[in-house]
C-alpha cells in the first residue's frame, strides 16, 4: 500500500528536479505518441529538440528561438506574479491581442509620417491596451467579487472578435486590394520593431523580456510587494493579519500581467508578424501558462522554460514539414508537459512511502 505523508516543507530538491523529470517523461510519452502516429520516435524527438539548436540549418532557427521565446517569457512573467498570489489571469491571449491592436493603431495613426517618437508611443499604447483589458476582470473582482478566471477567459473571445473586426474593418489596409489585414508595419520605418543586430532575432521584445525577468526577480526577492504576493499565496490568513490589501494586490498583479501581455502583442505585431490579421494570435497566451508553471513561477525558471517551449514550437514546425507530424501533436505534447509537471509535484509536497495496510 502506498502511503502519502505531507512534508512539513516542500522539498527543494524535488522542486528543482520535477521540471526536468517532467520534460523527460513528456519526451518518452511523446515518443510513444509519435510512434503511434507511425513516425520514428527518435527522429521526431531529435527533430524537435536537437535540430533547431545544432542541426544543419540551426543558423536559421536560432534567431527564431528568441522571436518565439520573447512573448512567452514576457507573458509568463506577468502571469507568474498573479499565480503566486492565487490570482488566476488565464486571459493573457486576449490581453496580447488588445496590446497589438492598440499599439498598431497608434502607429498607423501617424502613417506615413516618420518620427523617432512613434515607436515609443506604440510601446506605451501596447502596454495600455493589455493593461485595460486585464483591468476589466481586476476591477470586477475587486468591486463585485466576480470570478477573474471566467471573466478574463471570456474576454479572450471578445478580443478575438475585435481582432477580426480590426483586420476586416477599422484597421484594414486601404491599399490592400480588399484583402483582410492592416498595413504592414515592417515597411513603415518609424513603427518597425526591427532586429537590433541584423539577422539575430534580437528585437525590442527580447530586450523587454530580459528586463521583465530582472524586474520580477527584484520585485519578488527585494521588495515588499513581492513579499506580499508570496505571503498571500502561501498563507492567506497570515497575509490578512499582516495587513496586506488584497484589492491592491489583485489590481497590481492583473495590471502587470496585462501590460506585459500587451507589450508582447505589440512587439509581435510591429516586428515578426508585421500586421494585424485575423489569425494574428497563435496561442502564446495559453502556452505561457505552461511556461509559468514549468518555470516553477520563478523568473529565472520562466526564462529557461520559455526557451524550451519556443524550441517545441520551432521543432514542431520542422517536424511538421519534414516528417509530416501534425501540428496538433505538438499542441498535445505541450499539454502533456503541464500534465506531467503537475502530477510529479506530488513528490515535492509529499513523501511517498510503502507501508503495510493498516486498519483505518
Partner 1 sequence: MDLSAINPVLLIASLMVAATPILLAAIGELVVEKSGVLNLGVEGMMIIGAVSGFAIAVESGSPWLGFVASAVAGAVFSLLFVLLTQVAKANQVASGLALTLTGLGLSALLGQSYVGIRPPQMGKLDIPLLSDLPVLGPILFGHDPILYLGIALTAGVWALLKFTRAGLVLRAVGENHDAAHALGYKVIRIRIMAIMFGGACAGLGGAYISLIRVPQWTEGMTAGVGWIALALVVFASWKPWRALLGAYLFGGVTVVQLNLQAAGVAIPVEYLAMSPYVITIIVLVILSADKSSAPAALGRNFHASR
- Please identify, among the stretches 58-66, 126-134, 146-154, 236-244, the one whose residues bind partner 1 according to the rule CB under 8 A: 146-154
Phi, psi of 5 (to 5 degrees): -120, 125
Rule CB under 8 A: choose which of 290, 305, 314, 319 binds partner 1: 290
Task: Give the x-and-dash track for 308-337 against partner 1 (CB under 8 A).
Answer: ------------------xxxxxxxxxxx-
Rule CB under 8 A: choose which of 157, 187, 214, 353 binds partner 1: 157
CB atoms closer than 10 angstroms to residue 321: 10
Report the distance separating Cα 126 and Cα 128, nearest Å.
5
Q: Is 301:257 a contact under the CB 8 Å cutoff? A: no
- Please identify, among the stretches 16-24, 51-59, 136-144, 304-312, the one whose residues bind partner 1 according to the rule CB under 8 A: 136-144
Q: Considering the complex, what minimum distance in angstroms separates the CB of residue 229 from partner 1?
A: 16
CA dist list (Å): 346 to 8, 18, 291: 13, 9, 19
Rule CB under 8 A: choose which of 106, 123, 151, 303 binds partner 1: 151
Task: Give the x-and-dash track for 32-61 against partner 1 (CB under 8 A).
Answer: -----x------------------------
Closest CA to 260 of 149, 129, 111: 129
Contacting residues for 51 by C-beta, under 8 A, at least 6 apart: 57, 58, 61, 315, 318
Q: Is 104:185 a contact under the CB 8 Å cutoff? A: yes
> Per the structure block, which three cell numbers stand in for 19?
521540471
Q: Which is nearer to partner 1, 161 or 200 (CB)?
A: 161
Rule CB under 8 A: choose which of 150, 207, 238, 247 binds partner 1: 150
Report the distance separating Cα 107 and Cα 117, nearest Å.
10
Residues at the site binding partner 1, with contacts judged by CB under 8 A: 4, 6, 37, 88, 90, 136, 140, 144-147, 149-151, 153-155, 157-158, 161-162, 164-165, 168-169, 286, 289-290, 293, 326-336, 338-339, 342-346, 349-350
Amino acid at each position: 500500500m502506498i502511503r502519502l505523508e505531507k512534508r512539513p516543507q516542500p522539498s527543494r530538491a524535488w522542486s528543482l528536479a520535477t521540471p526536468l523529470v517532467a520534460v523527460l517523461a513528456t519526451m518518452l510519452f511523446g515518443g510513444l505518441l509519435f510512434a503511434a502516429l507511425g513516425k520514428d520516435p527518435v527522429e521526431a524527438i531529435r527533430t524537435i529538440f536537437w535540430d533547431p539548436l545544432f542541426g544543419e540549418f540551426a543558423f536559421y532557427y536560432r534567431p527564431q528561438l528568441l522571436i518565439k521565446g520573447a512573448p512567452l517569457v514576457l507573458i509568463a512573467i506577468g502571469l507568474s506574479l498573479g499565480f503566486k498570489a492565487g490570482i488566476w489571469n488565464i486571459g493573457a491571449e486576449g490581453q496580447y491581442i488588445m496590446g497589438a491592436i492598440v499599439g498598431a493603431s497608434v502607429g498607423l495613426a501617424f502613417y506615413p509620417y516618420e518620427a523617432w517618437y512613434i515607436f515609443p508611443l506604440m510601446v506605451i499604447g501596447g502596454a495600455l491596451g493589455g493593461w485595460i483589458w486585464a483591468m476589466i476582470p481586476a476591477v470586477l473582482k475587486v468591486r463585485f467579487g466576480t470570478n477573474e478566471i471566467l471573466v478574463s477567459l471570456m474576454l479572450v473571445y471578445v478580443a478575438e472578435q475585435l481582432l477580426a473586426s480590426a483586420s476586416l474593418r477599422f484597421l484594414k489596409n486601404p491599399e490592400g486590394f480588399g484583402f483582410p489585414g492592416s498595413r504592414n508595419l515592417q515597411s513603415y520605418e518609424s513603427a518597425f520593431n526591427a532586429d537590433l543586430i541584423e539577422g539575430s532575432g534580437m528585437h525590442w521584445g527580447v530586450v523587454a523580456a530580459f528586463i521583465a525577468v530582472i524586474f520580477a526577480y527584484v520585485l519578488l526577492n527585494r521588495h515588499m510587494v513581492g513579499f506580499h504576493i508570496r505571503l498571500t499565496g502561501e498563507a492567506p490568513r497570515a497575509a490578512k493579519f499582516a495587513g496586506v490589501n488584497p484589492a491592491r494586490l489583485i489590481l497590481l498583479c492583473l495590471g502587470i500581467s496585462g501590460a506585459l501581455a500587451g507589450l508582447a502583442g505589440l512587439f509581435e505585431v510591429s516586428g515578426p508578424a508585421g500586421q494585424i490579421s485575423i489569425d494574428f494570435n497563435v496561442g502564446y497566451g495559453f502556452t505561457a501558462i505552461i511556461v509559468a508553471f514549468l518555470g516553477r513561477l520563478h523568473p529565472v525558471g520562466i526564462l529557461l522554460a520559455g526557451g524550451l517551449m519556443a524550441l517545441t514550437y520551432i521543432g514542431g514546425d520542422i517536424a511538421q514539414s519534414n516528417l509530416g507530424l501534425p501540428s496538433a501533436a505538438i499542441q498535445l505534447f505541450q499539454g502533456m508537459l503541464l500534465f506531467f509537471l503537475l502530477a510529479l509535484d506530488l513528490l515535492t509536497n509529499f513523501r511517498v512511502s510503502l507501508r503495510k495496510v493498516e486498519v483505518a
